[in-house]
Amino acid sequence: MADRTVQAVHGRRAVEPDPPFERELSEAMRSRYEPRALLELYGRFTYGEGEFDAMMRRAICRAMTRSFGDGVHVGRGVLWRHPETFDVGSGVFIGDQAVLQGRFDGSCAIHDRVWIGPQSYFDARDLVIEEYVGWGPGARVLGSTHTGIPADVPIIQTDLTISPVRIGAWSDIGVNAVVLPGVHVGKGAIVGAGAVVTTDVEPFTIVAGVPARFLRRREGAPEAEKV
């Protein structure tokens, strides 16, 4: 069968403002419930398939997070840890069973029009994902590593080193790719499926492999500054 090219949907659709009653509901829940109670309430609607469940997920997420834009899709089974450290832009899509794990003293900014595929994992301790990023299903980002020092105790008992991760605007992270702590992916870059990204990726380049290596610059790519 021949390939066919069709128009993109998520990146082109208009973002409609959420209705006022929904924002009022979020504010009421934020003022009434403690963070733990909000998470428990969210759990009641986590796996529902109906429009009401989807609306309640969105409203509760707005109440739990630091900021939350319009037209956000929160899929079924999406799990949050420390949602109070998240800023979520408008028109964001969060696929089913994604795990968004923040840290009590961390921060995560997901900018407008980001698409996050199902079963993705964010170790969102110091993470910025800029606008119009495509994040493939099952792709993961790690934000910390154990020092492993001293060696005479279990590694999971040693201190954590938290390293900022930055995913530049317009970039695309392939299915099941892994982005490691401290990595900066440049604007418009493409990370191949299954790649393990251990070093910075220059803007408008294509990388793939384990570990990820430079393949080529994107055709017609503008000159860009290094990340």
**Is residue 221 very low, low, confident or very high in pLDDT (cuts 50, 70, 90)?**
confident
**Each residue of 120-136: pLDDT tens digit?**
999 999 999 999 999 99
pLDDT per position as a tens digit, 149-194: 999 999 999 999 999 999 999 999 999 999 999 999 999 999 999 9
Judge if 99 and 152 occupy the same domain. yes
Q: How many domains does the chain have?
A: 2
Task: Kindly state whether residue 11 falls inside one of the protein's structural domains.
Answer: no
Same domain for 105 and 57: no
Q: Are 77 and 56 in the same domain?
A: no
pLDDT mean across residues, the chain = 96
Task: Tell me which DSSP letter residue 201 carries.
Answer: B
Alpha carbons 168 and 227: distance in angstroms, whole number? 9
Mean pLDDT of 97-121: 98
User: In whole angstroms, how far apart are CA 21 and each of 32, 60, 75, 88?
Assistant: 16, 13, 21, 20
Co-location of 56 and 79 in the same domain: no
Query: Is pTM beyond 0.75 here?
Result: yes
Query: Which residue range(s) make up the domain with 180?
Result: 73-217
Based on the domain organization, do 47 and 133 belong to the same domain? no
| Whether residue 153 is found in the same domain as residue 203 | yes
Contacts of 19 (CB under 8 A, 6+ apart): none
Residues 25 and 117 in one domain: no
Confidence of residue 224 (pLDDT cuts 50, 70, 90): low
Q: Is the peptide bond before 150 cis (omega within 30 degrees of 0)?
A: yes
